[in-house]
Chains A and B, each alone.
Chain A
Amino acid sequence: MKSKWLLLLLGAVSLSANAQPRLPQNYYWQKFDNGLEVVVIENPKVPLATIEIAVKNGAYTEGPEYSGLSHLFEHMFFKANKDYPDQEKFINRTKELGAIWNGTTGFERVNYFFTFDKDSLEAGLKFMNAAIRFPIYREEDMQKERPVVDGEFQRGESDPGFQLWIDVNKRTWGDLFTRKNPIGDHNIINTATPEKMMIIKDKYYCPNNSVLVICGDVKHDQAFQLAKKIYGDWKNSGFNPQEKYPIPEFKPLEKSDYNIKISSIAQTPYMMLQWMGPDYRNDSAGTVIADVFSAALNVNASKWQQALVDKGLATYAGITYQTCKYVGPVQAFVVPNPLKMKECYEEVVKQVKMWGDDNYFTDEQLQTAKENLLRDKIRNEEKPSQLPSTLTFWWCSTSLDYFTDYDNNMQKVTRADIQQYVKKYITNRPVVAGLIINDEMNKQYKPSDYFSTAKAF
């Protein structure tokens, strides 16, 4: 079963390079001559329009010398350009448009989005065009923005959840940690130059590495026309950045590893386990199975929830998988009951070892998980201004066909598929475990006596 629809998925990928991709109703797609893909989503729920540009950039394109600079670049997008030469003028223009705006930087995507009155669509597209194609990088602006970006980093470092995430990810990805760390490195951020910004722009900010999405109370014909008029002369870079600047392959984890981090701000302990999961390039079917598996474990009746949360060993025990083109992480995040931390960890280990068992899920639980994913889809489609971000995430890390076919493929996942997935990526595979705890609780509960992958996995 699995292999059949895996082939279907792979077939879809090869077709999509030249053909109109499959898309949901009211989604329209064009690829301009310069390589820019444009998707228009007609959704007249409220009289607003949202525009978003996403670029295949982010942590995965960053070696150590550029760690965090995709993110700094994202900030500089909102600084100065040929039409709005300083940030005050830029922001004033957003106010004139009455826009709600932001940008994000992740593993494999950098995106920028604006929402405004539907009648401001042309003005908004021009505004975005000036920012993405004609930015101005001045040393004085960068001097002011570097501490801002570093301040975002320090805010993260003031949170124990982030501290634990950094610790576990450093040990998961090793030498290639920068490829999974969008926030970056303090020193690199604080010494970034306008020249480095231009290097990023020239490498990745081209129409043939970007997608433009226009969504809301718009008509697709008019939206395509406007987009073509404004973005049609954006010059193709002449190369595929993913080919010219290849992403190094992550080496599989060789052995399990663990760490206990002491932090005075961790008022209650957090526990994290991470494995290297599937990726879209090598196992697109596995990426869908991973989502169903996570959903099945997060259902109240699952053995995982019953053993940990129902029994009072943990306040929270969630499993996530993030779809990536280059190795997606599978993560278990647990907030243990500090009074029962040893039992909690032992139960986590016990359960993980059983994840691949034939009877770990009932068919009913699996069906519930799938039904939940389908109903969540209805909720996820409720807010029109969020639709572009959902679409661009999949565009950057998978494909539009993958996005469109996702629900059907998810319904095809079987218990056997899940067993194979768990065996391939989790059971008997190296794991990285981390615990963050304050000094007082560390002395009281002595996690070093039992929190170890050496003894457990």
Chain B
Amino acid sequence: MRRLLNLIRNENMKMFRQMSTYIMLGLLIVIVIGFGFISKNTAQPAATSADWKAQLTQQNTDMQASLTQIQTAGVAVEQSTASIDKAMKTNTYRIEHDLPPEQGTTLWGFVTQLAGAISLVSLFTIIIAAGIVAGEFNSGTIKLLLIRPLKRWKVLLSKYLAVILFALDALIILFVASFLVGGIFYSFGGVSQPYLAYTNGNVTEINMLWHIFTTYGYACVNLLMMVTFAFMISTVFRNNTLAVGISLFLMFTGNMLVTLLSKYTWVKYVLFANIDLTVYTDGIPVVKGMTLNFSLLVLAAYFIVFNIISWLVFTKRDVAA
């Protein structure tokens, strides 16, 4: 166990002695700051707070009217009803509990927007994952690495865990940076603001930090799957560029692919049809009848298959590089 930890320390040392690692993490911070400046300069001036209750009441009346229209027209009733219902109930909750709506951007709004940058974290982690095994083969260092009293699976596991740790580092940096930048630009006053969640027809207040945490969590499903995939390609083909290329290609075209194939029911077994779990809280799954449990099972199956392939290839391979 101690030597496994030592292995992870080694991987970290190698990772953080390379300039490219710092460039990636630095870029993440630069992007957060840059985004802060842009959103500050283009932000709408905040509306006067006095009449927000009247505004929301007016909104609700309008929405009620359009809802009636939709129901008589009978087009896309289900989806529209759900989203309008959610908005109306949230407004009512705000009026009743004296919670002004988020005007323009707030600290938490900024942090939530920047959760989109998790795809950037995915990109960077894919680059790391693509290089961590292939790199040892390319430089020939794999030989001196594997002639130690540690079985190959331990070496591979340490590399995988080091990649996951890098992703965690990057996520923490993203969160802290966007929190600080958001606070500086939009004041830290908004920290205590709650998040209004809409579940099963009821509006509930939840801790904002928990909300951000779940947002990150959902985004990390994609990250974890694509990084594991890149790691597998890197291990199987020992080719850094190929691993980055294929992973990024799939990451960006996966959803499109699923949409194109959505008329076939087997598409529900495709990884990308299951990678966005938010459809089960507010959205519609690609194929009707898919459930959260189904998606979790499919994801687990892919995850296990990717790792088993990496493991088999790495432990059985003749190292003749």
Same complex for A and B? Answer no
